[in-house]
């Protein structure tokens, strides 16, 4: 253990004294406050906050990712290249301890930089409303919509298997099934069609969503319905007029006393943009039931579709902003730990420049992994399968940075729950980082250290 600590200390010293870290720190210290004061967003204070949090966290995350890769790969690769490792490995230190020490050093360095930098970002977000002389009402809005952590409930996916089967049988009887398409493909297509149907409303018709088990802690708080429209035909002014009814609609048409209030809204919203509808918490019935009904007013003259997955969700306050911000920073930290493992792994068998190249490739793939996986769907079946079992498998070993981006949680003030974070730790640290570290240990254990390869 002592030798691990000795190596870790030495690695931190190396990064600090060789001024690798200095360039990054100076850049961040200058950029973050400038960004905080100069950023405008969409003009509102909330917009400023959202843009600032997005860009500053992305910047810190990116620069620290690069720093992590460079320090981790340099520390090991240069020790081997400069042969300093001869004088280290001949001491009573196992190769595992050496790698673990390097890894620990890089991780501690990351912590040393990440903690103060995120504290600065946090401080600036708190200061931005003050700096912009926010009124009490604006502060109220910000507290509800930015300085909070809201849990999200999505409506359960409708079960359409019976309807799909029915439709399939009907098409088969009418001999309208397309030729040369497999059964699975037809069923998949029909399922998608039916699901979309459930989320679409023609002019004058309505959609209802039901939510259960909503736990309201504070009766004075608000609920938020976050939604986005897609349309079949663009309306002239790109706006959709709608009527909303939110509450315990089971009681309709008669309203008995004490079953919670029903709220009715009339809205006019831009299409393909997220909007939020604030609803007082007493709309939720005492058993946690809530219904939301959307009416597509006939004047719209178009079909309104709520895109599956992100079309509509219910948000309610579950935690404070500070705790959520800390968890967002922890997400960045997990990413850095993984990158440190990749850096060590690359340096265990590659020279410094090549190792850096490999690490950057991994970073890029991790950042656009969603896009890559999605693109397989557009390939032909055979080619797609080949990719899925080669590139796809590699991507499985790499965390999906695009999916676990802290900004996607902080900007809509969405709660990062502990179970979710625990899942991330399990996946990124206990599984992916561990496997990579094990691989580097395996490579390094049998490496002929003094072998000079030209």
Partner 1 sequence: MTQNNEYAVETFSLTKVFSDLWGRTKVYAVNDLNLRVHHNEVFGLLGPNGSGKTTTIKVLLGLLHPTKGKTLVLGGDATDPKISARIGFLPEESYLYKYLTARETLDFYGRLFSLPRQVRKARIEALLEMVGLKAVANRQVGTFSKGMARRIGLAQALINDPDLLILDEPTTGLDPIGTRQIKDLILELAKRGKTVLLCSHLLADVEDICDRISILYGGRIQAEGQVRQLLQQTNKTQITSQTLSSRTIENIRKLIEAEHADFEVTSPMEKLETFFIRTVTEAQAGAVPTSGAVSTTMIGDFLAAEAAQKSILDKLVTADVSDKPGPAVETQKPAEVETSAVEPDKGLLDKLASEPELSQPVKTTEPAETKQADTRKVRDDVLEQLTGSQDKTEKQDQSDTDRGEQPDA
Residue in the structure block whose two tokens are 């200390």 = 9
DSSP 24-84: HHHHHHHHHHHHHHH--TTSSHHHHHHHHHHHHHHHHHHHHHHHHHHHHHHHHHHHHHTTH
Number of residues engaging partner 1 in binding (CB under 8 A):
28
CB nearer to partner 1: give 91 or 131: 91
Question: Which of residues 38, 90, 182, 213 is near partner 1 by CB under 8 A?
Answer: 90
- Nearest-5° Cα angle at 79, 74 to 84: 160
CB nearer to partner 1: give 5 or 263: 5
Select from 7-15, 22-30, 231-239, 241-249 the region that touches partner 1 (CB under 8 A): 7-15
E strand residue ranges, 92-249 = 148-153, 200-201, 206-211, 222-227, 230-231, 239-247
Beta strand 290-296 with 148-153 is: unpaired
Per CB under 8 A, does 84 bind partner 1? yes
Question: Which of residues 23, 26, 29, 86 is near partner 1 by CB under 8 A?
Answer: 86
Beta strand 304-305 with 200-201 is: antiparallel
Residue in the structure block whose two tokens are 């050496």 = 98
Per CB under 8 A, does 172 bind partner 1? no
- Secondary structure in 3-state letters for 174-192: CCCCCCCCCHHHHHHHHHH
Residue in the structure block whose two tokens are 């502060």 = 139
In our burial notation (b when 16+ CB lie closer than 10 A, e otherwise), range 67-102 reads bbbbbbbbbbbbbbeeeebeebbeeebebebbbbbb
Per CB under 8 A, does 20 bind partner 1? no
Per CB under 8 A, does 443 bind partner 1? no
Residues with Cβ within 8 Å of residue 191, at least 6 apart in sequence: 160, 161, 164
CB nearer to partner 1: give 272 or 447: 447
Question: Which of residues 27, 34, 40, 83 is near partner 1 by CB under 8 A?
Answer: 83
Q: Can you tell me the distance from the alpha carbon of 229 to that of 414, in angstroms, rounded to the nearest whole number?
A: 20
Select from 10-18, 52-60, 126-134, 327-335 the region that touches partner 1 (CB under 8 A): 10-18
CB nearer to partner 1: give 160 or 350: 350
Per CB under 8 A, does 354 bind partner 1? no
Select from 118-126, 147-155, 234-242, 443-451 the region that touches partner 1 (CB under 8 A): 443-451
Select from 1-9, 35-43, 48-56, 274-282 the region that touches partner 1 (CB under 8 A): 1-9
Per CB under 8 A, does 96 bind partner 1? no
In our burial notation (b when 16+ CB lie closer than 10 A, e otherwise), range 421-432 reads beebbebbbeeb
CB nearer to partner 1: give 221 or 351: 351
**Is 362 in contact with 343 (CB distance < 8 Å)?**
no
Per CB under 8 A, does 93 bind partner 1? yes
CB nearer to partner 1: give 86 or 265: 86
CB nearer to partner 1: give 87 or 236: 87
Shortest distance, position 114 Cβ to partner 1, whole Å: 23
Question: Which of residues 91, 131, 268, 423 is near partner 1 by CB under 8 A?
Answer: 91
Per CB under 8 A, does 442 bind partner 1? no
Question: Which of residues 13, 172, 268, 272 is near partner 1 by CB under 8 A?
Answer: 13
Closest CA to 96 of 198, 4, 203: 4
CB nearer to partner 1: give 98 or 285: 98
Torsion of CA 401, 403, 405, 406, to 10 degrees: -140
Tokens of 133: 């002389």
Select from 77-85, 144-152, 243-251, 282-290 the region that touches partner 1 (CB under 8 A): 77-85
Select from 21-29, 32-40, 85-93, 432-440 the region that touches partner 1 (CB under 8 A): 85-93
Report phi then psi at 276, rounded to 5: -130, 140
Select from 90-98, 251-259, 367-375, 400-408 the region that touches partner 1 (CB under 8 A): 90-98
**Is 433 in contact with 440 (CB distance < 8 Å)?**
no
Question: Which of residues 14, 118, 300, 324 is near partner 1 by CB under 8 A?
Answer: 14
Report phi then psi at 416, rounded to 5: -95, 105
Question: Which of residues 31, 35, 58, 88 is near partner 1 by CB under 8 A?
Answer: 88
Q: Can you tell me the distance from the alpha carbon of 105 to that of 88, in angstroms, rounded to the nearest whole number?
A: 16
Shortest distance, position 106 Cβ to partner 1, whole Å: 16
Per CB under 8 A, does 420 bind partner 1? no
User: Which residues would be at the binding site for partner 1 (CB under 8 A)?
Assistant: 2-3, 5-7, 9-10, 13-14, 17-18, 82-94, 448-451
């Amino acid at each position: 253990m002592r030798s691990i600590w000795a190596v870790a200390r030495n690695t931190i010293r190396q990064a600090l004294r060789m001024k690798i870290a200095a360039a990054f720190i100076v850049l961040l210290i200058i950029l973050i406050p400038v960004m905080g004061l100069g950023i405008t967003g969409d003009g509102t204070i909330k917009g400023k906050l959202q843009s600032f949090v997005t860009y500053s966290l992305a910047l810190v995350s990116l620069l620290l990712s690069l720093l992590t890769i460079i320090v981790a790969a340099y520390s090991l690769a240069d020790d081997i290249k400069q042969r300093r490792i001869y004088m280290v490995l001949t001491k009573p230190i196992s190769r595992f301890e050496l790698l673990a020490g390097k890894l620990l050093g890089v991780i501690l360095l990351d912590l040393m930089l990440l903690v103060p930098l995120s504290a600065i970002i946090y401080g600036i977000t708190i200061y931005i409303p003050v700096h912009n002389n926010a009124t009490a009402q604006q502060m109220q809005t910000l507290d509800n919509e930015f300085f909070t952590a809201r849990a999200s409930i999505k409506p359960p996916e409708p079960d359409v298997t019976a309807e799909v089967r029915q439709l399939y049988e009907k098409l088969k009887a009418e001999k309208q099934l397309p030729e040369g398409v497999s059964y699975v493909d037809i069923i998949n297509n029909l399922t998608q069609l039916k699901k979309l149907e459930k989320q679409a409303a023609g002019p004058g018709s309505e959609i209802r969503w039901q939510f259960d088990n909503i736990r309201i802690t504070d009766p004075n708080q608000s609920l938020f319905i976050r939604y986005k429209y897609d349309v079949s035909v663009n309306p002239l002014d790109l706006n959709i007029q709608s009527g909303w009814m939110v509450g315990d609609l089971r009681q309709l048409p008669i309203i008995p006393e004490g079953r919670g209030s029903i709220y009715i809204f009339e809205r006019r919203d831009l299409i393909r943009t997220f909007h939020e509808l604030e609803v007082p918490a007493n709309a939720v019935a005492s058993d946690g039931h809530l219904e939301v009904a959307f009416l597509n007013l006939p004047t719209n003259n178009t079909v309104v579709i709520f895109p599956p997955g992100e079309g509509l969700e219910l948000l309610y306050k579950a935690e404070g902003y500070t705790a959520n911000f800390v968890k967002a920073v922890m997400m960045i930290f997990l990413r850095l730990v993984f990158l440190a493992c990749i850096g060590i792994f690359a340096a265990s068998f590659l020279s410094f420049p090549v190792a850096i190249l490999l690490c950057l490739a991994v970073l890029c793939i991790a950042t656009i992994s969603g896009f890559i996986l999605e693109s397989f769907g557009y390939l032909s079946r055979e080619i797609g399968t080949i990719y899925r079992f080669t590139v796809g498998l590699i991507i499985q070993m790499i965390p999906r940075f695009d999916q676990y981006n802290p900004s996607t949680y902080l900007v809509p003030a969405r709660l990062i729950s502990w179970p979710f974070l625990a899942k991330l730790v399990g996946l990124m640290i206990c599984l992916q980082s561990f496997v990579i570290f094990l691989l580097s240990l395996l490579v390094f254990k049998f490496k002929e250290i003094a072998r000079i390869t030209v």
